[in-house]
Amino acid sequence: MKIYLNGKLVDKNKAHISVFDHGLLYGDGVFEGIRTYDCLVFRLKEHIDRLFKSADAIELKIPMTKIELIEAIIKTLKANKLRDAYIRLVVTRGEGDLGLDPRKCGKPTVFIITDKIVLYPSEFYQKGLEIVTATTRRNLAQALDPRIKSLNYLNNILAKIDAIKSGTEEAIMLTHDEYVSECTGDNIFIVANGELLTPPVDIGALEGITRDAVINVARRHDIPFYEKLLRMEDLYNANEVFLTGTAAEIIPVINIDERQIANGKPGKLTLRLMEELKEITKTDGVKYAL
Ligand code: PXG
């Protein structure tokens, strides 16, 4: 397996970064998780734009242009002959000293890992997922804005531990004032009274690329859609609940905190959106040839 590291393709066992890298020492960096479908990098431009926004928010200057990054991703996919892949694109503050001071980091580290995609088992898509509410609250936007896709994922990992301890795969994270924000690695939608609803990202959620794709589909098909503040009661009483994310795509939720959602089966609109998303993954992105 070849890894892109600071301008070069190197073997996996030679892809090393310094223990003084502030990405490792402080979680000081940004990343993207991207997916390819049959030689099409899904919504690549949107991912690159989000990476630059995240980097801007932490005052990290990415040492490559957007075009150069896109070329580097394609080059790495080709080197590994991957048709369907998961791409991890990471930019750290780079190698510094043991202090926090980012000015001591000379040059940001850029690496790209492309690997085979590991998905939720297919039964979760057919039967739906059971999830719980995490006891860990979402980071305050004024402290570390969840819209920044930074390497600092401890908040999410603590909530993931909550999920695992409850015997589930995902957990809902609430804001400090108990509004629903998102899950540890997925955005959340509900269907209630014929309306498709999701929390606004400014309460403290990542502006998911899949979330945005679903919103586009809803608008295109005149499905009533609103960004709305949601409480757990809204989720418990919803007709449908589903999660969206690059790895998960759209996954139905049928049980939250051991309460069954509606009839306990994936909902009609959820299934329709799953089909629509499948279609988009054939065209909405950047193609490459192996
Ligand atoms: N919210 C959070 C907090 C995320 O990390 C999403 C929503 C969905 O966004 P996209 O753009 O993917 O539709 C994410 C992204 C994993 C994993 O292994 C998942 C993400 C990031 C890193 C790893 O499950 N999800």
For the CA of 47, the closest atom of ligand 1 is: 11
Q: Report the distance separating Cα 270 and Cα 45, nearest Å.
A: 26
Q: Determine whether the shortest distance from the Cβ of 172 to ligand 1 is under 6 A.
A: no
The two counts, helices (H) then strands (E), for the chain are 8, 16
Where do we find the tokens 């108990």?
Answer: 178
Q: What is the mean pLDDT of residues 242-267?
A: 98
pLDDT in tens, 115-128: 998 888 999 999 99
Q: What is the pLDDT of residues 185-222, one digit of tens each?
A: 999 999 999 999 999 999 999 999 999 999 999 999 99
- Collapsing DSSP to helix, strand or coil, 124 comes out as helix
What's the pLDDT band for 113 if we cut at 50, 70, 90? Answer: very high
For residue 204 and ligand 1, the question of a CB distance below 6 A is answered with: no
- The type of residue at 156 is N
Gap from CA of 208 to ligand 1 centroid (Å): 7
What was the pLDDT predicted at 119? 82
Sign of the alpha-carbon torsion through 205, 272, 123, 281 = negative
Residue whose Cα lies nearest atom 3 of ligand 1: it is: 185
From the options 3.50.50.60, 3.40.50.2000, 3.20.10.10, 1.25.10.10, give the CATH code of 122-280: 3.20.10.10
* Cβ(247) – ligand 1 distance below 6 Å: yes
129 in Cβ contact with 170 (< 8 Å): yes
Spacing, Cα 187 to ligand 1 middle (Å): 8
For ligand 1, is residue 108 a contact (CB within 6 Å)? Answer: no
Element (H, E) at 87: strand 85-92
pLDDT in tens, 2-35: 999 999 999 999 999 999 999 999 999 999 999 9
Angle between helices 66-79 and 44-57 (to 10 degrees): 120
Nearest ligand 1 atom to alpha carbon 213: 13
As a whole number of angstroms, the distance between CA 90 and CA 108 comes to 10
On whether the CB atoms of residues 282 and 39 are closer than 8 A, the answer is no
Q: What are phi and psi of 181, to 5 degrees?
A: -105, -65
- Written as six digits, the tokens of 187 are 């955005």
Token pair belonging to 69: 């990054």
Per-chain mean pLDDT for the chain: 97
- Indicate the Cα dihedral angle 141, 245, 60, 29, nearest 10°: 90
| Ligand 1 proximity of 162 Cβ (cutoff 6 Å) | no
Average pLDDT of 53-59?
98
Catalytic site residues?
149
C-alpha angle 153-157-163 in degrees, rounded to nearest 5: 150
CA distance 248 to 2: 25
Q: How far away, in angstroms, is 183 Cα from ligand 1 center?
A: 9
Going from the Cα of 25 to the center of ligand 1, the distance in angstroms, rounded, reads 22
Q: Return the best residue to mutate from 46, 186, 188, 244 for the ligand 1 pocket (most ligand atoms within 8 A of CB).
A: 186
CATH 1.10.287.70 fits 2-115, yes or no: no
pLDDT of res. 118: 83
Residue nearest to ligand 1 atom 16, measured at CA: 185
- Is 184 a residue whose pLDDT tops 90? yes
Around Cβ 282, how many Cβ atoms within 10 Å? 11
- Ligand 1: does its nearest atom lie under 6 Å from the Cβ of 209? yes
pLDDT digits (tens, 9 = 90+) for 129-164: 999 999 999 999 999 999 999 999 999 999 999 999
pLDDT at 241 exceeding the cut of 90? yes
Separation between Cα atoms, residue 134 and residue 203, nearest integer Å: 17
The rounded Å distance from CA 1 to ligand 1 centre is: 24
What is the per-residue pLDDT for 125?
95
Report the distance separating Cα 79 and Cα 73, nearest Å: 10
Contact assessment for residue 146 and residue 159, using Cβ atoms and an 8 Å cutoff: no
Cβ atoms within 10 A of the Cβ of 228, count? 16
Domain ranges of the chain: 2-115, 122-280
Q: How far is the CA of 245 from the centre of ligand 1 (A)?
A: 5
Q: Are strands 2-5 and 8-11 parallel, antiparallel or unpaired?
A: antiparallel
Q: Which residue CA neighbors atom 7 of ligand 1 most closely?
A: 186
| Overall average pLDDT of the 255-278 stretch | 98
Confirm whether 2-115 and 122-280 share one CATH topology: no
**Mean pLDDT, residues 85-101:** 97
